[in-house]
Structure 1
Amino acid sequence: MNKYINKKVAILGYGLEGQDAEKYFINLGINPTILDQKDDPNYLNNLKSFDVIVRSPGVYRYKKEIVDAEKSGVIVTSPIKIFFDECPGKIIGVTGTKGKGTTSTLIYEILKADGRDVYLSGNIGKPYLELLPKLTKDSFVVMEMSSFQLIDLDRSPNIAVVLNITSDHMDWHKNQEEYINAKKNIVRYQKQRDYLIVNSEYKSSIDFADETKANIIYVSKKSLDNKFKNGTTLRGEHNQENIVMAVEVARILNINEETIEKVVIGFKGLEHRLEYVNEVGGIKFYNDSFATGPQPTIAAVNSFTEPETLILGGSDKGLNYQELGDVINKTKNIKNVVLIGVTGPIINKYLDSNLQFTIYNLQKPNMEEIVKKAFDITPKGGVVILSPASASFDMFKNYKDRGNQFKKAVQSLLNEQK
């Protein structure tokens, strides 16, 4: 019998994973109580009246009310903990500060091409509790895993993939140490027969090897075969890091090289991740709206040799922009920096306007104005990159809305030029 039967259950947060959890419990014959901040600012007040609390990832695990309820005997779990407890198949978990989505999707595509029963889930793909009835012992679930999900996870994937670990979500985590410590749960509970694949170019990633009993494989972009480096259409060295991880997973699973190569070379990348939009008047536009922190934007900057106009800024996650400023200041092909949003002035403090580029502070214009300005100031043969290094919530619904508005504005500009 399921351990939740006859229990009084509350779901904290009613986003996608909260809704997935609700369906799961209803299928068990349990009608959970939904507690969401949008409906009631005091939604955490009566947690001790429940037997089980199911925490959605967006709700911070160590809020005082949750900790107090747990101390009083309430079980605190999460959708991903339930999934790990009940999944009969193999789980391939991918984490890192950037590159998770691209790497997870590429692994999924390779396994699918090999005829495996494979599903893509976690932060992308299908809601995972919804998958449980479809899964067997022969199934594979590729999961993009965030620190929000990992923070109290007490099981680890059969294959863990650890990309670069830098800094993110400082508006959610107590500090950088907690962020990295949360990520380490992806390896802490692995068994000797499991695998950990680590990017050997990042010390913070290498440190994960100290936490696992699994077989450890170290890779880097330097170890990527030339047939993949030369064959891929994905721009940037960061994508070589993503590819080498996916290839290593495929090799662990004994997928033949021909299948791996065919999928990697045909893979076009993900929407809003350094996505080529169009060319207008000899200027190419790239949508990297998924870059909500400095590291992916640094990767984007380093992906081009053409003259660059960089669009930066958005809402504030409490991140440090010193390294990004240093990279921009020394990158000779950056000609213009367009700053928008709340973090525009913050980023500006780290930029040296006496160098080779011009800074434009636009504050909070609409996207058509941003794109028009970028077009006007970019030389022919150059590129315009929307890679904000910031969240989007000050001006847009989310990063997808921001990216879609950018693409729409580029299309409007193209239509005007015809």
Structure 2
Amino acid sequence: MKSTNWVVLELSSTQLIDLHKSPHIAVVLNITTDHLDWHRDRDEYVNSKTQIVKYQKDNDFAVLAYDYKDSRKFSKLTRGEVFYFSNSKKVNGAYVNNGRILLEIRNKKIEIGRVENLLLRGRHNWENVCAAVCASYLAGASINSIKQTVFSFKGLEHRLELVGEVGGVKFYNDSFSTNPQTTIAAIKSFSEPITLILGGSDKGLNYDEMAKEITKSTVLNSIIIGDISKKIKKSLQKSGYKQNITELGYPKTKKIIEEAVKVTPKGGIVLLSPAAASFDMFKDYKDRGNQFKEAVKSLR
């Protein structure tokens, strides 16, 4: 590795909590509530995240999610130059306006392209793209290389990954979703009827907000598995969810898929977006996602 090479790190709260050095370019996405099985409370969780900007110098950059109050607050904690990204508001940085991805920075306004041409589903991915556009431009990437990358990127494994289509039903693997907010983002990415596979081990999180969003969404079937089955079911019932709820306990993945196929209409979606950790039934989220993909392939 040379001194001119860029190193890109994704840092969790458990890595940041005792960090006393901040990166040259820090990107802060939407801060949800997570890892309460590890942190004392949400305040400690959020405070640990602030380390990513707290030790920046005057010549550093902070790229912050403007649409979320907790992320915007980081602007007061850094000595670096602050830029924002937004899925709907005009900001100093990158944003979406009338379906266009725009970079407005240092007296320049550059159109990157249209959101309809992205290969990624979901409005939350507009934010991710805007964050990447802004950070890569600050790092010195050319506009042409930014455009080429943005519109050819198909996403990462286990993150709203299209596994395939069988019998007119599409199967999506979002096993990386280990908290309610990421599942909310996933279900908002679809207008088709959804069979949602939820559940796993408990991280001390609250599922009431997620249940309300599920109730308002196109989720027609909720298949619940694992340690927090009863917790999720209680939240769904409390929210007034009137659609089908199936509790399967701790089944083999093949059994989950068989149940999903039974209840999902043609033209619908089977979405694995668990909103929970995987350790009650699987080695990790990758194992969970890989077993899901293998079970779908066995249908063909």
Partner of 2:260: 374
Q: Is the 8 A contact 1:228 1:265 kept in 2?
A: no
Contact 2:36 2:205 in 1 (8 A): yes
Counterpart of 1:162 (choices 10, 13, 28) is 28
Q: Cα offset for 1:286?
A: 0.2
Specify which of 100, 125, 130 is matched with residue 244 of structure 1: 130
Structure richer in helix, relative to its length: 1
Distance 1:407 1:218 in 2: 36
Residue of structure 2 in register with 1:104 after alignment: none
Higher relative contact order (CA 8 A, sep 6+): 2
DSSP-derived class of the 1:266 partner:
coil
Q: For 1:328 and 1:354, locate their aligned partners in 2 and report how far apart those are by CA, in whole Å.
A: 10
**Deviation at 1:255?**
2.2
Corresponding residue for residue 336 of structure 1:
221
- Give yes or no for contact 2:22–2:52 (8 Å, CA) kept in 1: yes
Q: Secondary structure at the match of 1:141?
A: coil
Question: Which residue of 168, 186, 191 maps to 1:282?
Answer: 168
* 2-structure distance, mates of 1:350, 1:158: 42
**Which of these residues, 280, 286, 291, is aligned with residue 405 of structure 1?**
291
Is 1:345 matched with 2:230? yes
SS of 1:144's equivalent in the other structure is coil
SS in 2 for 1:349: helix
Report how far residue 260 of structure 1 moved: 0.7
CA distance in 2, matches of 1:250, 1:388: 31
Amino acid at match of 1:284: K
Unaligned runs of 5+ in 1: 1-133
Select 2:72's aligned residue among 206, 209, 213.
206
The answer (yes or no) to whether the contact 1:335–1:358 under 8 Å persists in 2 is yes
What is the identity, as a one-letter code, of the residue corresponding to 1:174?
Answer: R
| 1:151 partnered with 2:17 | yes
Q: Which amino acid aligns with 1:196?
A: A
Corresponding residue SS for 1:272: coil
Aligned-partner residue type, residue 296 of structure 1: T
Q: Per-residue CA shift, 1:37-67, capped at 9, x if unaligned?
A: xxxxxxxxxxxxxxxxxxxxxxxxxxxxxxx
Over residues 319-370 of structure 1, what are the superposed CA-to-partner deviations in whole Å (9 max), with x where a residue is unaligned?
1111101111111x11100000011110111113864521011111100000
Please state whether the residue corresponding to 1:187 is helix, strand or coil: helix
Matches within 5 A, 1:63-82: none
Cα distance, 1:190–1:247 mapped onto 2, change above 3 Å: same
Pairing 1:31-42 to 2, within 5 Å after superposition: none
Output the amino acid matched with 2:178: T
Give the root-mean-square deviation of aligned CA atoms. Answer: 1.2
CA, structure 1 residues 355+165, in 2 after alignment: closer, same or farther (shift >3 Å)?
closer
* Aligned mates of 1:213, 1:257 — CA distance in 2: 27
* Residues 236 and 299 in structure 1, CA contact (< 8 A), matched pair in contact too: yes
> If you compute each CA radius of gyration, which structure gives the higher value, 1 or 2?
1
- Measure, in 1, the Cα distance between the counterparts of 2:5 and 2:12: 22
- Is 1:176 the counterpart of 2:42? The answer is yes
- Secondary structure of 2:165's counterpart equals strand
After superposition, residues 73-112 of structure 1 pair within 5 angstroms as none
Aligned counterpart for 1:291 among listed residues 169, 174, 177 = 177
Structure 2 gap segments, 5+ residues each = 89-94, 102-112
SS at match of 1:285: strand
What percent identity do the matched residue pairs reach? 51
Q: How many aligned positions are there?
A: 279
Q: CA 1:228–1:149 in structure 2 vs 1: closer, same or farther (change >3 Å)?
A: farther
SS of the equivalent of 1:218 reads strand
Partner of 1:215: 81
